[in-house]
């Protein structure tokens, strides 16, 4: 009985030492990881995992290291192993993002969904899943995820922008304009929001507002030739030929050769 007790005590002590050694290797690797010495870091993470095969954090950080070394499939394998040990929202999300990078979009969505189940208050999870649905042309699912992201973070400008794009595709022009307006309130230098809103104002025959938005685009980016072109088209609708001429010339000067026939026409 005494021998048995001593064996148990020694076993527990040995496990503790091994676990402690695994964490020591983990910390050494983490220091190198933070200094972007990924090849050096992975050697320590390999040792940590060899010392403790149930060290979920070890597999997770080694997966992140492999990602930085462009070994995406190896990283996926490590995240998968970590998830067999312990369910973790971040590991599901990270594995999903790797599948996204490999263009396995449905598998990525499945992982993002698992991450959301474990952490339903994380707006980035909804946003990223929504982006993936968008690549699959599932506009309604994208819209639903952007709604969720915005409900969790009212200042999530990127989510408002994608939601605006969805509303535009679904024919909700006013809703899209409202969301683009929120984007530029949150970020006055968000070029694409001004551009897209300007297009919608033009389609709504609100040419003055369209011109104002395209001018905002060109204030942010003086080389955006399409904004000059669209301004020119709006001026044409307002029968302001000299202003249209100036905008078409700017479009041509910035490489948009499709504007040349219109420049020739309105600059006579």
Question: Which residue, of 33, 55, 86, is where some domain finishes?
Answer: 86
Kindly tell me if the per-residue pLDDT of 9 is higher than 60.
no
- C-alpha 190/C-alpha 216 separation (Å) is 10
| 3 found inside a domain | no
**Mind listing the pLDDT tens digit for each residue in 29-38?**
989 999 999 9
- The pLDDT score that the predictor gives to residue 15 is 39
| 100 found inside a domain | no
Name the residue range of residue 247's domain: 188-267
| 122 found inside a domain | no
- C-alpha 77/C-alpha 102 separation (Å) is 14
Average pLDDT over residues 130-159: 99
Kindly tell me if the per-residue pLDDT of 216 is higher than 80.
yes
Q: How many residues would you count in the chain?
A: 268
Of the candidates 108, 155, 153, 98, the one whose C-alpha atom is nearest the C-alpha of residue 134 is 108
Kindly tell me if the per-residue pLDDT of 1 is higher than 60.
no
Taking all residues of the chain, what is their mean pLDDT, rounded to a whole number?
A: 92
Under 8 Å between Cβ of 230 and 210: yes
Least confident of 48-52, 179-183, 235-239, 244-248: 48-52
Q: Scan for tokens 């983490």, then name that residue.
A: 30
- The pLDDT score that the predictor gives to residue 241 is 96
The percentage of residues in the chain with a pLDDT greater than 70, rounded to a whole number, is 93
**By CB neighbour count within 10 A (0-12 exposed, 13-18 middle, 19+ buried), where does 147 fall?**
middle
Question: Which residue, of 57, 86, 115, is where some domain finishes?
Answer: 86
Work out whether the CA dihedral 216, 217, 220, 221 comes out positive or negative: negative
Domain holding 195: CATH number? 1.25.40.10
| 10 found inside a domain | no
Three-state secondary structure call for residue 240 = coil
Under 8 Å between Cβ of 45 and 78: no
- C-alpha 80/C-alpha 17 separation (Å) is 26
**Mind listing the pLDDT tens digit for each residue in 59-115?**
999 999 999 999 999 999 999 999 999 999 999 999 999 999 999 999 999 999 999
Of the candidates 238, 229, 239, the one whose C-alpha atom is nearest the C-alpha of residue 260 is 229
Question: Which residue, of 86, 110, 140, is where some domain finishes?
Answer: 86
Kindly tell me if the per-residue pLDDT of 246 is higher than 90.
yes
- The pLDDT score that the predictor gives to residue 20 is 66
| 241 found inside a domain | yes
Kindly tell me if the per-residue pLDDT of 56 is higher than 50.
yes
Count of structural domains, the chain: 2
- The pLDDT score that the predictor gives to residue 13 is 28
Of the candidates 116, 125, 130, 133, the one whose C-alpha atom is nearest the C-alpha of residue 160 is 130
- C-alpha 267/C-alpha 242 separation (Å) is 7
Buried b (16+ CB within 10 A) or exposed e, 208-223: ebbbbbbbbbbebbee
| 137 found inside a domain | no
From the centroid of its chain, how far is CA 144?
16
Taking every pair of Cα atoms in the chain, the longest distance, rounded to a whole number of angstroms, is 107
| 153 found inside a domain | no
Confidence class for position 22, pLDDT limits 50, 70, 90:
confident
**By CB neighbour count within 10 A (0-12 exposed, 13-18 middle, 19+ buried), where does 155 fall?**
exposed
| 160 found inside a domain | no
**Mind listing the pLDDT tens digit for each residue in 113-127?**
999 999 999 999 999
- The pLDDT score that the predictor gives to residue 25 is 87
């Amino acid at each position: 009985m005494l021998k048995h007790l001593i064996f148990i005590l020694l076993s527990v002590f040995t496990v503790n030492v091994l676990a402690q050694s695994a964490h020591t290797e983990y910390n050494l690797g983490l220091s190198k990881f933070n200094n972007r010495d990924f090849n050096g870091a992975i050697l320590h993470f390999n040792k940590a995992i060899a010392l403790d095969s149930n060290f979920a954090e070890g597999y997770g950080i080694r997966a992140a290291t492999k990602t930085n070394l462009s070994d995406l499939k190896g990283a996926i394998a490590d995240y998968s192993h970590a998830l067999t040990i312990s369910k973790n929202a971040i590991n599901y999300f990270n594995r999903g993002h790797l599948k996204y990078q490999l263009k396995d979009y449905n598998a990525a969505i499945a992982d993002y969904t698992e991450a959301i189940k474990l952490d339903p208050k994380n707006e980035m999870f909804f946003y990223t899943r929504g982006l993936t649905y968008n690549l699959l042309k599932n506009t309604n699912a994208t819209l639903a995820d952007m709604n969720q992201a915005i409900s969790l973070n009212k200042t999530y400008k990127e989510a408002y922008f994608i939601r605006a794009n969805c509303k535009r595709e679904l024919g909700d022009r006013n809703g899209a304009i409202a969301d683009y307006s929120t984007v530029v309130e949150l970020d006055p230098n968000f070029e694409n929001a001004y551009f897209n809103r300007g297009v919608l104002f033009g389609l709504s025959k609100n040419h003055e507002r369209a011109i104002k938005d395209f001018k905002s685009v060109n204030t942010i980016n003086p080389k955006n030739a399409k904004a000059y072109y669209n301004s020119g088209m709006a001026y044409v609708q307002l029968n302001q030929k000299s202003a249209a001429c100036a905008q078409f010339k700017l479009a041509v000067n910035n490489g948009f050769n499709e504007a040349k026939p219109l420049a020739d026409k309105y600059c006579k």
